[in-house]
Amino acid sequence: MQIIKPGLTTLSDALDIAFAEVAMRPDVEDRPLGECFGAVLRRDVIATVAVPSVDNSAMDGYAVRFADLANMAGPIAVVGSSMAGHPFDGDIPTGKAVRIATGAAIPNGADCVIIQENVTANADETIIEISPDVIARTKRDQNIRRAGEDIKKGAVVLSAGSVLRSQDVAIAAGQGCQTLVVSRPLTVAVFSTGDELAKPGDPLPPGGIYDSNRFAMIGMLKNIGCTVTDLGLLADDFDVLHDALAQAAKTHDVIMTSGGVSVGRADLLKPVVDQLGEIQAWKLAIKPGKPLMRGKIDDCLIIGLPGNPVSVLVAGLLFAMPLLRHMMGADRAHSLPVRFPVRVGFDFKRGTGRREWLRARLVQDDDGKQVAMAFNSTSSGMLSSMVWADGLIEIPESCGQIVAGDEILYLPLRGLQ
């Protein structure tokens, strides 16, 4: 049975083809650690030190020899302390205890830590007592973090292809890294087309609208670490578009635009790219966002997003941003948006043949369970729906109906932040 409409390409196939045809850029840089958040790592980080570097205490308390516990009824002398950065010197004497702080090195010979709440100490903490029931519950190695328990020396701490999060940069810092080898930011030229558009702050022409798409594109691109050149609004004129694309392609890795990629008389981007370079993909089996173009001019990638504002954001999240992350060296798992299953709280019918994304948000139903509710319109011109939504519900090409209680995939919109 034919599911995909003739002449259209599925999103999955389009991404597979694009990932195969668009090469990862080789350019990398050694970037200071504090500037690596959100960058794509291009060289594995290998542990040069074990973490922890020594056996240390997981709690504040007293280090003792486990074998001595059975004979520790009554007062126990505290013979010293082990603080973080200031370890106890020498072996712990038999039948004695050492005061120890969280993170401090375990004294030689000690093999368990009794937490301070389970110990009775005199005023100057030179004598403690441990009750028989605490002794009975204590196990060897209790409250001890062994050297290398978190990270073993020589282990791969971070793999090339990762998109660096706060915790990734932190773990690199924990290995003493001052810099990381990451992708050089892609340079992207951005513009919008449409004679009906006006720049925010300018007077609106009759029947005109303010250009919002350019700011959506710029935001998405900066979110993934691209360097953006804003070319502004370009007229629906073949020569204007021809000259702008020809010049931008010489100095940028990517050109991204919205509008002008459909089949109307004023949709000029496709013939311009056809003359300057080549069209490699056009029209996806998705809703919103069907008229989505991929092409190239020499070595410059051209991405033509649709003109409707919701289509710009959805096609950007699902196709353009994954492809650009791929160009910067991210592996597929770190390129594609996150999806997870949720229950829907509404009914919906539609035609088959295209994969569709409904703007949605997660709410609690009457039973206190989390369900996804859709916006009350599927119009791709309603930008307010994307402000209302916190995610997208994904409906497969073959699915013509969903009913309340069905499980379906949900894409959080944090990828657009």
pLDDT tens digits, 93-152: 999 999 999 999 999 999 999 999 999 999 888 989 999 999 999 999 999 999 999 999
Q: Which domains does the chain carry?
A: 11-24+185-335 (3.40.980.10), 28-51+151-183 (3.90.105.10), 56-145 (2.170.190.11), 340-416 (2.40.340.10)
Separation CA 237–CA 23 (nearest Å): 31
List pLDDT tens digits, range 310-327: 999 999 999 999 999 999
What are φ and ψ of residue 339, in 5° steps?
-130, 145
Q: Dump strand ranges (E) for 226-382.
A: 227-234, 254-258, 278-282, 286-287, 293-297, 300-305, 340-344, 348-349, 355-364, 370-374
What's the token pair of residue 197? Answer: 């558009």
Tell me how far CA of residue 13 lies from CA of 16, 17, 215, 226, 302, in angstroms.
5, 6, 28, 25, 18
Cis peptide before 52 (omega within 30 of 0): yes
Separation CA 131–CA 186 (nearest Å): 65
Separation CA 97–CA 92 (nearest Å): 7
Global confidence as pTM: 0.87
Digit-by-digit pLDDT tens for the chain (417 residues) are 456 667 788 999 999 999 999 999 999 999 999 999 999 999 999 999 999 999 999 999 999 999 999 888 789 999 999 999 999 999 999 999 999 999 999 999 999 999 999 999 998 889 899 999 999 999 999 999 999 999 999 999 999 999 999 999 999 999 999 999 999 999 999 999 888 889 999 999 888 899 999 999 999 999 999 999 999 999 888 999 999 999 999 999 999 998 866 555 547 888 899 999 999 887 889 999 888 889 999 999 999 998 899 999 999 999 999 999 999 999 999 999 999 999 999 999 999 999 999 999 999 988 888 999 999 999 999 999 999 999 999 999 999 999 999 999 999 998 655
CB contact set of 231 (below 8 Å; sequence gap of 6+): 189, 190, 191, 244, 248
What's the token pair of residue 411? Answer: 């894409």
Residue 96 has a pLDDT of 95
340, with CB counted inside 10 A (0-12, 13-18, 19+), is exposed
CB contact set of 105 (below 8 Å; sequence gap of 6+): 54, 55, 56, 82, 87, 88
Helix axes 269-276, 238-251, angle to 10 degrees: 50
Considering only CA atoms, give the Rg of the chain.
30
Report the residue count for the chain.
Answer: 417
